Amino acid sequence: MSLKHRAEYAAVAAATALSGSLPLAASQRALAAVARCYFERGGRRVGYALTNLRIAFPELSETRRRAIGRESYVHSAWNVLDWLRSTHWSESEISDRFEVSGLERLRAALAQGRGALAVTLHTGNFELFAKVAPVWGVPVSHVGRTMSNRRLYERVLHERTRTGAEVIDRRSAAPAILRALRRGHVVVLLIDQYARRNQSVFAPLFGKRCSTTAGAATLALRTGAPVVPLYSVRVGPDRHRAHILDPIEVPASGDRRRDIERATAAYNAALERVIREYPEQWMWAHRRFRHSPDLDGPVYG
């Protein structure tokens, strides 16, 4: 393990230990102050966030867009704190912090016998959401990235799976996803970030076509698994709400490419409505509109 990775692991271990003893309100205030200062310092990621906000909300003032961006950084900092604190929680203590709306929709989708594909985005505390779904009796498989710091990733992976969820490495995801669907799992796919061109289609988001993973639509067409949008939002200092929406059905026309584009556009539309309702809770600091054919020049400089 490199010195950098050792330092990262030690920092996370120390923060985890401290998080269990520090008062929540004081911790949140301190992290909010740090996050706001970090945002005001600027930098590449802050630039990405502000560019995205200008694309998404041209009608808002720059002051309002900066306020949204600033609070999204605060929200991300609180998510880290939640994750650290949750390492000390039992399954019931995790579940007690969540309300859920629409769980019957997910169970009805699973009752069809083909598993289900859940499309979601980086709002609320998506890491905590990953922990709570199995506690509700829903068999879940999450598709995600690994980390270069193997020891730290092992710690993160333990937390993601200790309540019963399965984690699928996105680098070799397709066979594992098909197996999970056959076992009647909900396969959770985060689809709100830029996807490489060989794995994507262009689908509208905030009126601009952007490169979006084609995986959910491709799998739905191949397997017949229902596609259910879901997301979580923070509703209090230590409270979260999960929303499970109606399945999105896009009838097959026989034109496979067109069907994938139509379905992906429908998924993006569902997620855009969530972002518009909770803009401060979405992660703006990534290059979502990279290579958009509807935007001139290099979008992010």
CATH code (residue 75): 3.40.1130
In a domain, 292, yes or no: no
In a domain, 295, yes or no: no
The per-residue pLDDT for range 91-113, each reduced to its tens digit, is 999 999 999 999 999 999 999 99
Given a contact cutoff of 8 angstroms between Cβ atoms, the answer to whether 207 and 293 are in contact is no
In a domain, 287, yes or no: no
In a domain, 131, yes or no: yes
Mean pLDDT value across the chain:
95
In a domain, 60, yes or no: yes
Phi, psi of 140 (to 5 degrees): -125, 140
Q: Which residues contact 33 (CB under 8 A, 6 or more apart)?
A: none
In a domain, 95, yes or no: yes
User: CB-based burial of residue 194 (10 Å sphere; 0-12 exposed, 13-18 middle, 19+ buried)?
Assistant: middle
Domain count, the chain: 1
In a domain, 288, yes or no: no
pTM listed for this prediction? 0.95
The per-residue pLDDT for 197 is 82
Between CA 214 and CA 169 the distance in angstroms is 17
The per-residue pLDDT for 134 is 93
Under-50 pLDDT residues of the chain? none
Q: Which residues contact 251 (CB under 8 A, 6 or more apart)?
A: none
Q: What's the helix, strand, coil split of the chain in %, to 5?
A: 55, 15, 30
Q: Which residues contact 83 (CB under 8 A, 6 or more apart)?
A: 125, 127, 128, 159
In a domain, 300, yes or no: no
Domain that holds residue 161: 3-281
